[in-house]
Structure formats: C-alpha cells, structure tokens
Amino acid sequence: EPSPLVPALKKFLTAIFFLIIFINSRDLKLDEKIFDVSLPFYLRFVYITLFCFVMRSRYYFTFIIAESICNAGGLGFNGYDDSGNPQWDLVVGMKVKGTEIGVNGREQAASWNIFTAKWLRRTIYERVTIRPTIMAFIVSAMWHGFYPGYYICFIYLGFSVIAARKMRNIFWHRFQQPRLVKLLYDIATTATTNYMVKDFSEFIFLFLSLEKSLQISRYYYYLPFIIVAVVVFLFPNKKASRK
C-alpha cells in the first residue's frame, strides 16, 4: 500500500482553505443583506449565491478533514488507476466539483453526503414502489428534524430530481453535437440547477422557518416551485413520449 502522506496533506490543506473562507466571510453579514427590502433583485441573487457557498464551505471543511484523517490512518486506498497512480477515494463523503457545477439536480444531490445518499437509495429508494424519489427525500427530512424548512427543502429537491430526469430524457440527446452546442447546454443546465435548485433549496434549509421559506420564495417569485411542478406534472416522461 502506498504512502498516504500526499493525499492526506492535500485534503488537509483543501479543508483549511474552506475553513478560512467560512471564518473570513462571517463579518460580511450576507444573510442580513439578503432580507433588505430595498435590495434590487439581481443583487439579492448575487448575495444568496455567495451566502449559500459560504455556508457550504463549513460542510466542505468537515467532510474533507474527515477524509484526510482517514487517509492519514491508512484508510481509503482504492487500488490503482489505469496509469498506475494510487487512488485514495474509498472514503470520499462529498465531491466539491459535482456539488458546485453538477449539470443537473441528480448529479449535485449524488455528490453531497455520498454515504447517506447510498443508504437512502438501498433502504428507501430501491424498496418503495410509490414515488421512491420523493419518499427518500422525505425520510432525509425526517432525519434532519421537524422544522418546516426541512420538508419544503427536501420535498422540493425530490421533485427537482424527477424534473431533471425528465428534462434530460427529453432534451439531452438533442444538444450533444457540435461541441460548442454541448458546452452551452451544460453551462445553461449548470447555472439553472445552481440558482433555481441548489441555492434556493439550501437557503430554505438554512433558515428553517415557514415564514423565511415563504419570504425567500417571494424573492424568486415562486418560479422554482412553478417550473418544477410544470415539468413534473405536464411534461411527458420518456416512455410516454415513445408511445
């Protein structure tokens, strides 16, 4: 087994980087600025994005420092790749890249809290016959607690995953050629997922209360809920379109 020094040190430094971001950003008071009634829509959008990234940074620190500690203890070695390089990814609990720039809600959800996501998939998703995606997210909400924000966040995320799956089945194969079209499609889906799904739901998750959830929804003009509902309930699924 190769030495874990290099991968453990890299992950340790990465974790410290996210910790510094979180600590140094607290004085900005972004959460207070977001609820300023005189704030223009576009600027509130920017503040929400920055605030959510800062709040995710503390989780990135926790996941990555835990992974670094495991690697330092010799845990996490997963063999060698095709080029003969050692792989230390057996205990990866979260993928920053997939979380931040995943092209759809499913990819971003699968990159966050990976082991819990696998447990939910095996325990709930693969066993439930009625709306397994929604039921898995409801169980996740129950695990977090009983604040309204948890249930609004996770149920919305569940329907967002279904909507993303439908959109991909309908549109993905139409935008794979030429290369520029594919690139523009990926940028558009990543931006939409970040602003309309991840940051919106995370903001509701962080503030928990029904009042704050409705307030932030009004800032978005309820568009995330409306768009997801239209896609889920009105767009045809892949099997229906083939018929």
The tokens of 22 are what?
A: 């979180």
Active site residue ranges = 113, 144
Cα distance between residue 47 and residue 170, in whole Å: 33
The tokens of 155 are what?
A: 């149920």
Query: With contact defined as beta carbons under 8 Å apart, do 135 and 186 qualify?
Result: no
In DSSP notation, the chain reads ---SHHHHHHHHHHHHHHHHHHHHHGGG-HHHHHT-TTS-HHHHHHHHHHHHHHHHHHHHHHHHHHHHHHHHTT-----B-TTS-B---TT----HHHHHH-SSHHHHHHTSSHHHHHHHIIIIITT--SSHHHHHHHHHHHHH-S-HHHHHHHHHHHHHHHHHHHHHHHHGGGG-SSHHHHHHHHHHHHHHHIIIIIHHHHHHHHH-SHHHHHHHHHHTTTHHHHHHHHHHHHS--HHHHH-
Query: With contact defined as beta carbons under 8 Å apart, do 160 and 105 qualify?
Result: yes
